[in-house]
Amino acid sequence: MTHGRGENPQRTGMTEKCGVVGVSLDGREATRPLYYALYALQHRGQESAGIVTHDGFQQHSHVEMGLVGDAFDPSDLEGLAGAAGIGHVRYPTAGSVDSSCAQPFSVSFKSGSLGLSHNGNLVNAEEIRDDLAGKGHAFTSDGDTEVIAHDLARNLLEEDLVRAVKHTMQRIHGSYSLTISHDDTILGVRDPQGNRPLCIGKLEDGYVIASESAAIDTLDGELVRDVRPGELVVLHDDGQGFDSYQLIERERTAHCFFEHVYFARPDSVIDEELVYEVRRGLGRKLWEESGVETDVVMPVPDSGRAFASGYADAADETTADGQARAEGDDGVEFAEGLMKNRYVGRTFIMPTQDERERAVRLKLNPIKSTVEGKTVTIIDDSIVRGTTSRQLVSLLRDSGAKEVHMRIGAPPIVAPCYMGIDMASREELIAAGNSTEEIREEISADSLAYLSTDAVAEALKTDHEDLCLGCVTGEYPYDIEGEPTDRKVTRPEIGGSRVSADD
Ligand code: AMP
């Protein structure tokens, strides 16, 4: 599906920011490991959860709306027989809650059964859907995962697994990390630009493919490596190993920088970097670029915590103007000045602005003694609509802060995400139409500074050209209708003759 400028892809029933997992074991049932892995990936999606397994004879599926803990009861898990399977957690949207898009998507067809879990967003799903519908395929949802499943099923009627996956990869354009079950064979696929994370782990008696390494840790496994951009990984049915096929090669990757900034768990290793250390590194750069000497620095829990710790560490070493600290000058004190009520859900998904403001107040409460009579810096990872920062600044002033400065561990978010993060539409993004000074005024902070894109690339130890920075530059690494692209990528032609099997 394509989107007009400023339109939020999340409101159109597409596949979103999600967590995926696939497991193949040597005899042991896969259900429990899949279930625990989904728990570890819960932060990537709270709208629905599902597992599809295969016992060598038939496919079993259970998909339910809600959190992992609510979606399965013991009898559901017992019904999911087999040593191989995949799982999925789906991100909530601000719009309608639609069970037809819950995953894994599963289907049986002439050459067996398929299960599919998708994290990401295709930008040409509508074109492929129209083409397949014209060839007699009937669709039950408006999600792009079903489009991938139908295309793959069609290819599997005529060719072997690896070619079938390759030809589907040549047709789909956009962001995708997939776990797939073809009968009891488990596959992992990452899009040629590696937009969303996906990694391989070794367990005592098998292998796992998961969105984040934290899921592998939960299973007492060992991270083997990331799935490479454009790679297909096929787990052996006996749990003893995996095969790798580099099906598509691209010169440049387009890793989503926001995974490292906000989305992923800090204890995950993505593209060989521990997310927590990347965030601390971003915090250090924030001090170097825009440090301000205040009595205390405090994180917005939990999203700003690692940034604030890196910021405070750097502030212990140098002054805000880059000089070594004099003896006895301890820098800026790191303090937990805001307490979070962990039972309140994410403010972001509250449908109205009024509710969002109320939710921030429910969620965060200042600790008066850390704030009263002090100059304060608060650190968060990002400003989206500005709701959280506006509320926090006023809350801290009400609690007696003398000055409130805000530092943000990412550049201003000026454009929507088409690759799967619910980032609000252009009209809602406070930085889309306002300068940093205007935003500072709007949130009533004494000063406000963001991080540069250079600092982001440095902290991630990569080049700008290998990152997807679409939401902070407005230029995307994919060919999205109505939006500029920052590289030479074109959508595949859909609807003509099929790609040659020799490709
Ligand atoms: P806002 O209040 O709209 O400015 O949103 C900023 C807050 O939302 C920050 O505390 C972020 O950590 C958090 N945030 C940023 N991106 C997202 C996202 N895609 N989904 C949910 N929360 C987010």
Confidence of residue 87 (pLDDT cuts 50, 70, 90): very high
| pLDDT of 12 | 35
**How far, in Å, is the centroid of ligand 1 from the Cα of 67?**
20
Q: For ligand 1, say whether the CB of 387 is within 6 Å of any of its atoms.
A: yes
Q: For ligand 1, say whether the CB of 211 is within 6 Å of any of its atoms.
A: no
Question: Alpha-carbon distance 252 to 238, whole Å?
Answer: 35
Q: For ligand 1, say whether the CB of 364 is within 6 Å of any of its atoms.
A: no
Q: Indicate whether 269 belongs to any domain.
A: no
Which ligand 1 atom minimizes the distance to the CA of 300?
10
Two structure tokens written together for 265: 């768990």
As a whole number, mean pLDDT of residues 129-148 equals 91
Q: Are residues 67 and 196 in the same domain?
A: yes
Residue 125: pLDDT above 80?
yes
Q: For ligand 1, say whether the CB of 422 is within 6 Å of any of its atoms.
A: yes
Poorest-pLDDT segment among 64-73, 104-113, 259-268, 353-362: 353-362
pLDDT in tens, 393-428: 999 999 999 999 999 999 999 999 998 777 678 889
The upper half-sphere exposure of residue 320, i.e. CA atoms within 13 Å in the direction of its Cβ, equals 8
| pLDDT of 346 | 57
User: Among 43, 262, 302, 380, which residue has the most ligand 1 atoms within 8 Å of its CB, making it the best to mutate?
Assistant: 262
Q: Indicate whether 186 belongs to any domain.
A: yes
Q: What number of other Cβ atoms are within 10 A of residue 224's Cβ?
A: 17
The sheet carrying 231-235 orders its strands as: 105-109, 112-122, 174-182, 185-190, 231-235, 242-246
The upper half-sphere exposure of residue 401, i.e. CA atoms within 13 Å in the direction of its Cβ, equals 29
Q: Are residues 41 and 87 in the same domain?
A: yes
Q: Are residues 337 and 232 in the same domain?
A: no
pLDDT in tens, 342-391: 887 655 556 677 777 777 888 899 999 999 999 999 999 999 999 899 99
Q: Indicate whether 210 belongs to any domain.
A: yes
Q: For ligand 1, say whether the CB of 383 is within 6 Å of any of its atoms.
A: yes
As a whole number, mean pLDDT of residues 296-310 equals 96
The answer to whether the beta carbons of residues 340 and 301 sit under 8 Å apart is yes
Q: Indicate whether 491 belongs to any domain.
A: no
Taken as a whole, the chain contains a residue count of 503
Pairing state of beta strands 48-54 and 59-65?
A: antiparallel
Two structure tokens written together for 51: 């597992």
Q: For ligand 1, say whether the CB of 382 is within 6 Å of any of its atoms.
A: yes
CA 94 centroid distance within chain: 16
Q: Indicate whether 221 belongs to any domain.
A: yes
| pLDDT of 92 | 59
Indicate which CATH number applies to the domain containing 93.
3.60.20.10
Q: Indicate whether 260 belongs to any domain.
A: no
Q: For ligand 1, say whether the CB of 340 is within 6 Å of any of its atoms.
A: no
pLDDT in tens, 428-468: 999 999 999 999 999 999 999 999 999 999 999 999 999 99
Confidence of residue 94 (pLDDT cuts 50, 70, 90): very low
Give the residue numbers marked as catalytic.
18
Q: Are residues 244 and 307 in the same domain?
A: no
Question: Which secondary-structure segment (H or E) carries 447?
Answer: strand 447-449
Residue 96: pLDDT above 50?
no
| pLDDT of 501 | 39
Tell me which residue has tokens 């790679």.
Answer: 231
**How far, in Å, is the centroid of ligand 1 from the Cα of 52?**
32
**Domain around 102:** 16-254
**How far, in Å, is the centroid of ligand 1 from the Cα of 203?**
34
| pLDDT of 6 | 35
Please provide the average confidence, as pLDDT, over all residues in the chain: 90
Domain total of the chain: 2
Q: For ligand 1, say whether the CB of 8 is within 6 Å of any of its atoms.
A: no
**How far, in Å, is the centroid of ligand 1 from the Cα of 346?**
8
Which ligand 1 atom minimizes the distance to the CA of 422?
19
pLDDT in tens, 234-266: 999 999 999 999 999 999 999 999 999 999 999
Which ligand 1 atom minimizes the distance to the CA of 356?
2
Q: Are residues 232 and 308 in the same domain?
A: no
Question: Alpha-carbon distance 23 to 84, whole Å?
Answer: 6
Of 192, 214, 52, nearest to 122 by C-alpha is: 192
**How far, in Å, is the centroid of ligand 1 from the Cα of 344?**
14
Q: Indicate whether 483 belongs to any domain.
A: no
User: Among 18, 256, 382, which residue has the most ligand 1 atoms within 8 Å of its CB, making it the best to mutate?
Assistant: 382
Last residue of a domain, one of 199, 226, 254: 254
SS3 state at 282: helix
pTM as predicted:
0.92
Q: Are residues 390 and 308 in the same domain?
A: yes
Q: Are residues 400 and 360 in the same domain?
A: yes
Confidence of residue 5 (pLDDT cuts 50, 70, 90): very low
| pLDDT of 15 | 41
Q: Are residues 223 and 316 in the same domain?
A: no
User: Among 260, 355, 388, which residue has the most ligand 1 atoms within 8 Å of its CB, making it the best to mutate?
Assistant: 388
Q: Are residues 133 and 195 in the same domain?
A: yes
Convert 301-326 into a string of H (helix), E (strand) and C (coil): CCCCHHHHHHHHHHHHHECCCCCECC
**How far, in Å, is the centroid of ligand 1 from the Cα of 383?**
6
Which ligand 1 atom minimizes the distance to the CA of 423?
19
User: Is the model more confident about 489 or about 480?
Assistant: 480
User: First and final CA of the chain: distance in angstroms?
Assistant: 26
Please give the single-letter amino acid code of residue 449: A
Question: Alpha-carbon distance 185 to 24, whole Å?
Answer: 8
Two structure tokens written together for 140: 């039950």
Q: For ligand 1, say whether the CB of 149 is within 6 Å of any of its atoms.
A: no
The upper half-sphere exposure of residue 196, i.e. CA atoms within 13 Å in the direction of its Cβ, equals 32
Cα dihedral across residues 240, 246, 251, 253: positive or negative = negative
| pLDDT of 67 | 92
Please give the single-letter amino acid code of residue 417: C
**How far, in Å, is the centroid of ligand 1 from the Cα of 94?**
13
| pLDDT of 134 | 94
The answer to whether the beta carbons of residues 474 and 414 sit under 8 Å apart is yes
Tell me which residue has tokens 């397994």.
Answer: 53
Pairing state of beta strands 84-90 and 467-468?
A: unpaired
Please give the single-letter amino acid code of residue 256: C
Poorest-pLDDT segment among 11-15, 84-88, 102-106, 351-355: 11-15
Q: Where are the beta strands (DSSP E) in 133-254?
A: 174-182, 185-190, 199-203, 206-210, 222-226, 231-235, 242-246
| pLDDT of 361 | 82
Q: Are residues 206 and 298 in the same domain?
A: no
Question: Alpha-carbon distance 463 to 198, whole Å?
Answer: 20
Indicate which CATH number applies to the domain containing 400.
3.40.50.2020
**How far, in Å, is the centroid of ligand 1 from the Cα of 463?**
25
Phi, psi for 290 (deg, rounded to 5): -150, 30
Q: For a pLDDT cut of 70, what percent of the chain falls above it?
A: 92
Residue 19: pLDDT above 70?
yes
Convert 55-124 into a string of H (helix), E (strand) and C (coil): CCCCEEEEEEECCHHHHCCHHHHHCCCCCEEEEEEECCCCCCCCHHHCCCEEEEECCEEEEEEEEEEECC
User: Among 358, 360, 384, which residue has the most ligand 1 atoms within 8 Å of its CB, making it the best to mutate?
Assistant: 384
Q: Are residues 279 and 172 in the same domain?
A: no
Helices (H), 291-386: 305-317, 353-363, 368-371
As a whole number, mean pLDDT of residues 66-73 equals 95
CA 83 centroid distance within chain: 28
Residue 277: pLDDT above 90?
yes
Q: Are residues 39 and 89 in the same domain?
A: yes
Residue 1: pLDDT above 70?
no
User: Is the model more confident about 313 or about 349?
Assistant: 313
Longest Cα–Cα distance in the chain: 77
Question: Alpha-carbon distance 408 to 42, whole Å?
Answer: 25
Q: Indicate whether 8 belongs to any domain.
A: no
